[in-house]
Structure 1
Amino acid sequence: MKLTYDDKVQIYELRKQGYSLEKLSNKFGINNSNIRYMIKLIDRYGIEFVKKGKNRYYSPDLKQEMINPKSFIPLSTRCNLQNP
C-alpha cells in the first residue's frame, strides 16, 4: 500500500505516542522494517523529508534527442554537461 503524506505523519505521531511497530504495521498494511526506517529518516531530517517531490517531465522529443548519438555534442552543450 502506498502511503500519503498524511499517513506518514500519522504513523510518526502514533509511534511517538507509544504505539508498537506491529500495531502500526497491521493498521497501515506495511512492513515493520519500513516503518522503523521511515521513523529514523523523520527523526534525522524532519517531517518534511517524507513529502514526495514532483517528478521532472521530459518531452518525448527531448528523450529521443538524448538517445540519438548524432545529437550528443549539441545536446550536452545545451544542457551544460561536461564532455565525457
Structure 2
Amino acid sequence: MTKLSRQDKIDIYNSWKHYGKSSKQLAKEYGVCSGNLRYMLSLIERHRLKILDKGHITYSVEFKEAAIKRVLFDHETSYRVSLELGLPNQGTISNWIRNYIKDGYNVINHKKGRPTHERQRQANPGASKANQRPRTRELEAYCSDRIRKKIRRLGLSKN
C-alpha cells in the first residue's frame, strides 16, 4: 500500500463526494486497500478535512483505557469507536486490546522502535562470554606481534 499525501486524500474525498466515484474504483486508482479507503472517507466525512492536519499523536494511558473499555465492556464496535475518537487507523484499537490482554489486563505505553544498543548486548549472552574468555600468554604474544607488525608497516609507508 502506498502512503497518500494530504492532497491525495483531499482529491479522493472530493472524487467520492462530488463525482460519485466508488471507493473500490478510487482504491484501484490510488493503489490502496478499499477497506482502509472507506475508513478514511468515513473519518473525513465525520471530522471534516481538519482531521488530516493531525500529526503523530501519542495517546495517554487513560485515553487508551477508556477506548478499550468502550469496546470490551460497553460492546461498541471498534470501527465506531475509532471513528468517534478520530484515530488514524481502524486497527489501532484492535492492537490496543491485544496488548491489553497480553499485558495482563493493564494498559501500558510500549516504547516504539528497536531496543537501545545496551539492551541488545545484554540480550545476547553468547557474545559477552566470547569477550570474557581467558587469554593465554601465547594468544597475547601473537596479538602483540601482529600489532608491532602493523606499526612497522605504517611507519614505512610514511617515509
TM-score normalised over the length of structure 1: 0.60
Aligned partner of 2:14: which letter?
Answer: E
Cα deviation code 1:8-57 (max 9, x no counterpart):
0000000112001111011100011111100111111111202352679x
Partner SS state of residue 27, structure 1: helix
What does 1:1-84 align with in structure 2 at a 5 Å threshold? 1-16=2-17, 17-53=19-55
Cα RMSD (Å): 2.1
> Structure 1's 3 and 52: CA in aligned 2 closer, same or farther, altered over 3 A?
farther
Distance 2:57 2:47 in 1: 21
Instruction: State the structure with more CA Rg.
Output: 2
Matched-pair identity in %: 35
Aligned partner of 1:7: which letter?
Answer: D
Distance 1:49 1:5 in 2: 10
Corresponding residue pairs, total: 57
- Name the structure 2 match of 1:71: none
TM-score normalised over the length of structure 2: 0.33
Gaps of 5+ in 2: 59-115, 117-159
Q: With a CA cutoff of 8 Å and minimum separation of 6, indicate the structure with the bigger relative contact order.
A: 1
